[in-house]
């Protein structure tokens, strides 16, 4: 039997957004792209077009950067706005997101293949919370007084916004990443040119309109959807862009870093991962298995911090594998707007082919592959998959798959598993499941990852920094640490003697 998926009815507000002509958002209003190019946006659950998005080019990026540069002028409304009022604007943006939370969730389902409940409770809610959190920061960005070794001289520091920020976001969290990137940049007083993924552009464009309605001066936030190799490259190379913040693959991040280095441009990179998750023998197995499965199968594994390498103590290995297979077998695939859906699609056909290739290779290399029930083929679904009898040198244990695919690896002792868990080019996240506080502390100290979870997985908070070690990137999104990426420190010397 071949399963099929139909798109449920959608709200009038979302239908209106999807029906709009392809556009970019510059200096406070929508415009047709100078490139004249566009591309269909597909519903990943059906493979059918739901709208058309602009493919902005270098000329569109030029216009957007020019608008952001004008908005950053010292005499502009944005630069002369008080920190208190800037915070109020950010808070109103968060309120505007929540006021349209159901519509934004629906849009994320249709653009990115999410499941509605997660889109509403995680993506939309977190984006709003990010703006609300960073709304409190403009009044708290302060300099300091420096004790001077010279008589008759007063030294102080000031924190200045870095300037025009080029933000490039990934397709897997279209609205959420807007919160991650835009909220701290705006709190710092920067202006922004945002290039969302050409796969999932609609929520960023809508958010830009709402931001202007909330009081953000025109030109402070500009949005140019487009291809990474065209619009993204033009943004990275533009001489008037002072900072690049990027979320995406490690391969693209490396290219951005090399190009930005030519202009000594500041860069924050949040890149790929192959996160290690460890279940010790004394763990609460019910919680550990549920948390591990949820981490990898949520959003069909299309998260950079997905716990795709699961190390399990040999004494409980077989039981854990059996439980994971049962969970994989029980997940119901379908359209994300269907209330019964538990497993959504991958973002496009190319991603599905990539995941299928990784799973096929794992079997060819000698691993045991267990896939869940049949999934629809008219969209871009892949069954929840558990790979066992694998070894650390297999491709499935080394490379980021970015799909609902979990590789389970047995271990025998703590020293061994901590060494193996850290044997990766990545270092974005890691997890530990144990009832032993000593084991937990030892593991969190040893694991080289930007985020380490103990007896849980996957939560984020606007106040907690997020980023990686090694080839998972550098710099941090979220929390006070992220603000440093959008600020310059100026020393001011006053001679009064």
Q: Any idea which residues carry the catalytic annotation?
A: 270, 304
Could you tell me which residues come within 8 angstroms of residue 389 by beta carbon, excluding any fewer than 6 positions away? 366, 367, 368
Helix axes 83-99, 202-213, angle to 10 degrees: 130
Burial of residue 284 (CB within 10 Å: 0-12, 13-18, 19+) is middle
Structure tokens at 273: 């991962």
Give dist(CA 198, CA 426) in Å, integer: 26
Picking from 257, 198, 256, the residue whose alpha carbon sits closest to that of residue 223 is 198
Q: Could you tell me whether strands 429-433 and 451-454 are parallel, antiparallel, or unpaired per DSSP bridges?
A: parallel
Strand partners, 166: 193, 244
Picking from 215, 110, 185, the residue whose alpha carbon sits closest to that of residue 486 is 185
**Residues 289 and 317 sit within 8 Å (Cβ to Cβ):** no
Strand partners, 157: 491
| Residue 33 CA: distances (Å) to CA of 123, 132, 224 | 28, 32, 8
Picking from 151, 198, 168, 131, the residue whose alpha carbon sits closest to that of residue 348 is 198
**Residues 78 and 72 sit within 8 Å (Cβ to Cβ):** yes
Provide the CA 32 distance to its chain's centre, in angstroms.
27
**Residues 198 and 55 sit within 8 Å (Cβ to Cβ):** yes
Give dist(CA 454, CA 441) in Å, integer: 9
Q: Reduced to 3 states, what is the DSSP secondary structure of residue 166?
A: strand
**Residues 246 and 270 sit within 8 Å (Cβ to Cβ):** yes
Give dist(CA 381, CA 43) in Å, integer: 12
A 10 A CB-CB count for 467 gives 24
- C-alpha dihedral (375, 114, 14, 182), degrees to nearest 10: -160
Structure tokens at 204: 């960023």
Q: How many CA atoms lie within 13 A of 216 on its CB side?
A: 35
Give dist(CA 172, CA 411) in Å, integer: 32
Could you tell me which residues come within 8 angstroms of residue 483 by beta carbon, excluding any fewer than 6 positions away? 137, 141, 184, 187, 188
Residue 443 sits at the vertex; the CA angle it makes with 437 and 445, to the nearest 5 degrees, is 105
Q: Reduced to 3 states, what is the DSSP secondary structure of residue 371?
A: strand
């Amino acid at each position: 039997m071949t399963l099929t998926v139909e798109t449920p009815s959608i709200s009038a507000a979302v239908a209106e957004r999807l029906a709009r002509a392809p556009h970019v958002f510059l200096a406070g209003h929508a415009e047709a792209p100078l490139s004249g190019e566009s591309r269909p946006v597909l519903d990943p659950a059906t493979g059918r077009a739901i709208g058309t998005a602009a493919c902005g080019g270098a000329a569109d990026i030029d216009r957007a950067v020019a608008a952001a540069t004008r908005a950053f002028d010292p005499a502009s409304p944005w630069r002369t706005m008080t920190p208190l009022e800037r915070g109020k604007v950010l808070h109103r943006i968060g309120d505007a997101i929540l006021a349209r939370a159901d519509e934004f969730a629906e849009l994320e389902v249709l653009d990115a293949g999410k499941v509605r409940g997660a889109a509403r409770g995680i993506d939309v809610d977190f984006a709003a919370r990010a703006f609300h959190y960073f709304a409190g920061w403009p009044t708290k960005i302060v300099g300091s007084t420096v004790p001077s070794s010279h008589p008759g001289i007063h030294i102080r520091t000031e924190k200045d916004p870095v300037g025009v920020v080029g933000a490039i976001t990934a397709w897997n969290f279209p609205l959420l990443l807007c919160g991650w990137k835009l909220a701290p940049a705006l709190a710092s007083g920067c202006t922004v040119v945002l290039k969302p993924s050409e796969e999932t552009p609609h929520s960023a464009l809508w958010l830009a309109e709402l931001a202007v309605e909330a009081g953000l001066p025109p030109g402070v936030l500009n949005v140019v959807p487009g291809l990474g190799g065209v619009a993204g490259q033009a943004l990275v190379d533009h001489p008037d862009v002072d900072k690049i913040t990027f979320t995406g693959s490690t391969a693209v991040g490396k290219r951005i870093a090399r190009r930005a280095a030519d202009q000594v441009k500041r860069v924050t990179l949040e890149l790929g991962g192959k996160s290690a998750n460890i279940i010790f023998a004394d763990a609460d197995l019910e919680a550990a298995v549920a948390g591990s499965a949820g981490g990898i199968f949520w959003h069909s594994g299309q998260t950079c911090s997905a716990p795709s390498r699961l190390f399990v103590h040999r004494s409980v290995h077989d039981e854990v594998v059996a439980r994971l297979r049962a969970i994989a077998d029980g997940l119901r695939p379908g359209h994300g707007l269907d209330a019964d859906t538990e497993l959504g699609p991958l973002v496009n056909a190319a991603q599905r082919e990539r995941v299928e290739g990784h799973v096929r290779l794992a079997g060819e290399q000698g691993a045991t592959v267990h896939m869940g029930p049949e999934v629809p083929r008219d969209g871009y679904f892949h069954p929840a998959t558990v790979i066992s009898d694998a070894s650390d040198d297999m491709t499935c244990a080394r490379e980021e798959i970015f799909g609902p695919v979990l590789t389970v690896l047995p271990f025998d002792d703590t020293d061994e598993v901590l060494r193996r868990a850290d044997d990766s080019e990545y270092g974005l996240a890691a997890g530990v499941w144990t009832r032993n506080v000593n084991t937990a502390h030892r593991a969190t100290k040893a694991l080289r990852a930007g985020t380490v979870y103990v007896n849980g997985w996957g939560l984020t908070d606007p106040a907690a920094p997020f980023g990686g070690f090694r080839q998972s990137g550098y710099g941090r999104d979220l929390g006070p640490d992220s603000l440093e990426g959008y600020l310059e420190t100026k020393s001011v010397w006053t001679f009064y003697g």
